Amino acid sequence: MLRVRLLVFLLFEPEELTTIVKYLVYQMELTRCLMLKLPGQLSPSS
């Protein structure tokens, strides 16, 4: 059922899907950057 819905979504909402994928990639990149920067910011400098 979910697979059919996803297929319909892929067929009829390509722009929406592209937006969602871009958003997810953006979130992952943001999280990765935060994880990389976090150790340096954990030390009390403020």
pLDDT tens by residue, 13-44: 778 778 888 999 999 999 998 888 876 665 55
Q: What is the pLDDT of residue 43?
A: 56
pTM score: 0.46
Q: Is the pLDDT assigned to residue 10 strictly greater than 90?
A: no
* CA torsion angle 6 8 14 19 (round to 10): -40
Token pair 């697979």 in the structure block, residue = 3
